Amino acid sequence: MSIVDAESLVEHSVQRLFAEQVDRGALERVETGAFEARLWQLVVDAGFPLALAAEATGGSGQTWSAVAPILHGIGYWQVPLPLAETMVAALLLSSAGLEVPAGPIALIEQGQGNDLHIGGSAGPLVLSGTALHVAWARHAPTALLSLPGRLALIDLRARGVACSAAVDAAGMPSDTLRFDRAACLAQAPAGALPPQPVWLLGALARSLMMVGALESALEQALRYAGERMQFGRPIGSNQAVQQPLALSAGDVAAARTATLAAAADAPSSARVDTPEAAFSIAVAKVRCGEAATRACAIAHQVHGAIGFTREHALHFATRRLWAWREQFGSDAWWAARLGALAIRAGGQRFWPSLTRRRFDDAAASAQAVTPRDISAPFAAQPHSARRSRGP
C-alpha cells in the first residue's frame, strides 16, 4: 500500500468514527469531569493510540504525515480524549525499547512548567516534586517523563503520587501532579531521539490539532455569514465581513502548510534522527498560535454576541485553540528561540540555515548552533515569553 493510500484510509476511518461518535453531549460531559470510556475504546479498536508506535511493540509504525488526519480530526471534531498524548508517548516508548502500557498515557517534560527532582541512580528512579498543567493526568494510569538523555514511565496510581484536578481554558483536564519519592516503573536511554522529545512532539501534535480546530471555526463563521440575514441580504455579502474572513482563511492555509511540513520532518519509529524536526515544528507552532489568535477573534466577531454563548457550538473550537496555543510552548516562546538562533547564525548563514531548516552549518565557527539549542529552555517557565493579548 502506498503512502497516499495509507493516508486516505486513515482519513476515511477518522472521519467516519469522529463524525458519528463525537456529539455535543460528549463535549459537555467531559467538562464535568467525566471520561468518555466508550469513545476511548472505539479509538483503541481503530488502532489510533498505537499508530505511531513501532510494529515490534504492537503498533502500526506510521509516520507523522500518515497519522496527521487523526490529530487534525481531534481538533476539527474537538474529540474529548487524551489520544494525542498517548500517541506521542507510544512512539517515544517504543523508540526507546520500552513496553507501551494499556490505557491513556500523560506527558511530562522535566523543566517545563514543573519542579521535579530525580533520585535513586543506583536502582529504580525515584521522582519527587510537582508537575503543573499535565493534560488528562486524572484519567491516565501512567505518565511518560522525559529527562535529559532518557525516558521514564511512572505509575500515576502508585504510592507517592497525588493528583489535584484542574482545567485549561477549554475546560479540559490540566491537572497538578505531586510526587513524593515515587518509584518509576521503567526507564531507558533516549538514544537518537531529539532533545526534550515530549515538549517537541507535543508541540507538533498540538499544531496538527489546532489546524483542525481552525478549519472548524472558519467553516462555522463562513456558514453563519451566509445564513445570517440583515437588511434583506446575508451579512457575508458585505465587504467588511468578507475581508476578515479572507484574512482568516489565509492564516489557516499558512498554518496548515507549515504543520504538514513539520509532520514530514518529524521523527518516526523507523527514523528518530531527524535534524530538521526542531526547526520545522517551532515554525509550525508559531504559525498556528498566531493564526489561532486572529482566527478566533474574527470568528466571534462574525457571529456577534451569539458566538460567545454556551448554546452555540463555536466556543468548543475556539476555547481549545486558546488552550492549545499555550501548551508545549506558546508561539511567543518558540518564536523567541527561533529568533535567537537566527541572530546567532549571523547574516551569512541565515539564508542557508533557513532553506535547510536547521541552524547547524558544519562550516561555521565554534559558535554554531544546532537543532538541540532550539529545544533548550531559556527559562524554567514555558510561558515567560508570552505576549500580552486576549483570551
- The confidence score (pLDDT) of residue 341 equals 86
- Residues 230, 159, single domain; the answer is no
Taking only the tens place, the pLDDT of each residue in 324-348 is: 999 999 999 999 999 988 888 888 8
Asked whether residue 182 falls in the same domain as residue 204, the answer is: no
Same domain, 202 and 261: yes
Are 33 and 176 contained in the same domain?
yes
Confidence bin at 52 (pLDDT 50/70/90): very high
Establish if 108 belongs to a structural domain: yes
Return the higher-pLDDT residue of 42 and 343. Answer: 42
Average pLDDT over the chain reads 88
Query: Are residues 163 and 208 located together in one domain of the fold?
Result: no
The tally of domains found in the chain comes to 2
- List, as one string, the DSSP characters of 316-383: HHHHHHHHHTTTTS-HHHHHHHHHHHHHHHHHHHHHHHHHHT-S--TTS-TT---HHHHHS-SSSSTT
Residue 121 in this model has a pLDDT that exceeds 90: no
Examine residue 203 and state whether it is found in any structural domain, yes or no: yes
Residues 354, 211 share a domain: yes
Can you read off the three cell numbers belonging to residue 173? 483536564
5 burial (CB, 10 Å; 0-12 / 13-18 / 19+) is: exposed
Q: Could you tell me if 143 and 268 lie in one domain?
A: no
What range defines the domain where residue 274 resides? 197-375
For residues 196 and 329, is the Cβ–Cβ distance under 8 A? Answer: no
Q: Are residues 184 and 207 in the same domain?
A: no
Give the Å distances, CA to CA, from 232 to 220, 227, 228, 310.
21, 11, 10, 28
| pTM (two decimals) | 0.89
Listed residues 139, 166, 189: the one ending a domain: 189
166, 189, 212: which is the final residue of a domain?
Answer: 189
pLDDT at residue 371 is higher than 50? no
The enclosing domain of 163 has a CATH number of: 2.40.110.10
Cell of 220: 462555522
User: Using 50, 70 and 90 to split pLDDT, how confident is the model at 4?
Assistant: low
The answer to whether position 381 is within a domain reads no
Q: Check residue 349 and give its pLDDT.
A: 83
- The reply to whether 169 and 203 lie within a common domain is no
Residue 382 lies in a domain: no
pLDDT tier at 275 (50, 70, 90 boundaries)? confident
The three cell numbers locating residue 321:
485553540
Residue 3: per-residue pLDDT: 53
Q: Which comes out higher in pLDDT, residue 365 or 35?
A: 35
Please check whether residue 391 lies inside any domain of the structure: no
Task: Return the minimum-mean-pLDDT range out of 41-45, 93-97, 226-230, 340-344.
Answer: 226-230
CATH number, domain containing residue 303 = 1.20.140.10
